[in-house]
Structure 1
């Protein structure tokens, strides 16, 4: 669909993507200006729309790009993890995410804007991407989940689903608490991780046979 753009030299392609991320991170989808993007990227508006046809396609392309960047980092790190305690793995994955966000704050702010409050005209497209990301991460984590510590009366699949639902809820809590103060969230990473581990401990007590 975006063959003309994909065939550009990597340096030029990356410059356009970086400018788009910064513009949409700061102003969101509706207020993000394609005029500003073309000016900062050093291309004409006609060329930009030749690549993407319209603003919606451009925005969703950037969403896919950012999601792939973070997913690749996560998948690479998870490949190196040994199968074992699910809560230790979740903690490590959370640290990886925070580190990645700290190193790319504009991408982080863009991700928050895209998934927390998508405009109505692209809401369904964003939801599809979110659920695909959720399912991919679920499968990766489930493959490495050592279920030997679970209580005997607990269904393994439901236990993993509960963890993901809980993780999603905790993540959304912090995203909403720090909406508009994303840089402050990064600065408070240590405090957030301490609270996060407290939530995980409560779940562990409920799911594990602590005598094992």
Structure 2
């Protein structure tokens, strides 16, 4: 635990974390300029390392925070939404992702890039931290939903991939709008889900999601 950092006001903590997520999601670990991170965080490079000692310590703290933060969000989601309807679950997940992106815009991109990070100085530690991340696999999802609503249950795996790709691309393309008009982004994505529902669900289960 980094006590120096945790004593800072929450707004300043978020700014420092967000700066790291932004720069490290754009550059690989070794090439990411810490001077750019410090500038993004509105602080000096020496002060940044006052809180995290060095670049490696900062990067691993960012990743640990990201894993803990996402795990907490997943636990909350499981508690708040226990619907067995696949599309209701996907709609709820998108709303959660938009809310999270509004707080830490580059967190998902950072996690994605870190997964493929090959720098030997951090690779092993990142792999261990990844093992602590709560991830809903396709099998987990299929066990928790009512698959009888699907015309062809064998297409669920493909559908999950499609929605994942759409959600990632859609949130990236609409990053600025997420801050200014988050509900509009959610509503537009909902329209895409409704279209997919028309194709994959049996006629008797098709009713527009609200």
TM-score by length of 2: 0.66
Whether contact under 8 Å (1:23, 1:32) holds in the other structure is: no
Give 1:19-168 correspondences, 5 Å limit: 20-25=16-21, 27-28=23-24, 30-33=32-35, 36=44, 38-39=46-47, 43=50, 48-49=52-53, 54-102=54-102, 104=103, 107-109=104-106, 111-115=107-111, 121=118, 135-136=135-136, 138=138, 141-151=141-151, 153-155=152-154, 158-159=155-156, 161-168=157-164
Residues in 1 aligned to 2:138 and 2:46: alpha-carbon distance in whole angstroms: 38
Higher normalized helix content (fraction of residues): 1
- Using the alignment, how far apart are the partners of 1:40 and 1:136 within structure 2? 35
Matched residues, number: 188
SS of corresponding position for 2:168: helix
For structure 1, which runs of at least 5 residues remain unmatched after alignment?
1-5
Give 1:93 deviation, angstroms.
Answer: 1.9
- Whether the 8 Å CA contact 1:150–1:209 is kept in 2: the answer is yes
Shift of residue 80, structure 1, vs aligned partner = 2.9
**1:17–1:62 contact (8 Å) kept in structure 2:** no
RMSD of aligned Cα (Å): 3.9
State whether residues 150 and 208 of structure 1, in contact with CA within 8 Å, keep that contact through their aligned partners in structure 2.
yes
What TM-score do the two structures reach when normalised by structure 1?
Answer: 0.65
Q: In the TM superposition, what whole-angstrom CA distance separates every residue of 1:72-110 from its partner, at most 9, and x where no partner exists? A: 1232122232332110121122112222333x2xx223x
List alignment gaps of at least 5 residues for structure 2.
39-43, 206-210
Q: 1:38 to 1:19 in 2, by over 3 A?
A: farther
> Following the alignment from structure 1 to structure 2, what is the Cα–Cα distance between the partners of residues 128 and 139?
23
Question: 2: distance between equivalents of 1:137 and 1:13?
Answer: 37
- When residues 108 and 154 of structure 1 are mapped into structure 2, their CA distance, relative to the original with a 3 A threshold, is same
Structure 1 segments (4+ residues) deviating >6 Å: 13-16, 126-132
Pair 1:184–1:78, CA change in 2 (3 A)? same
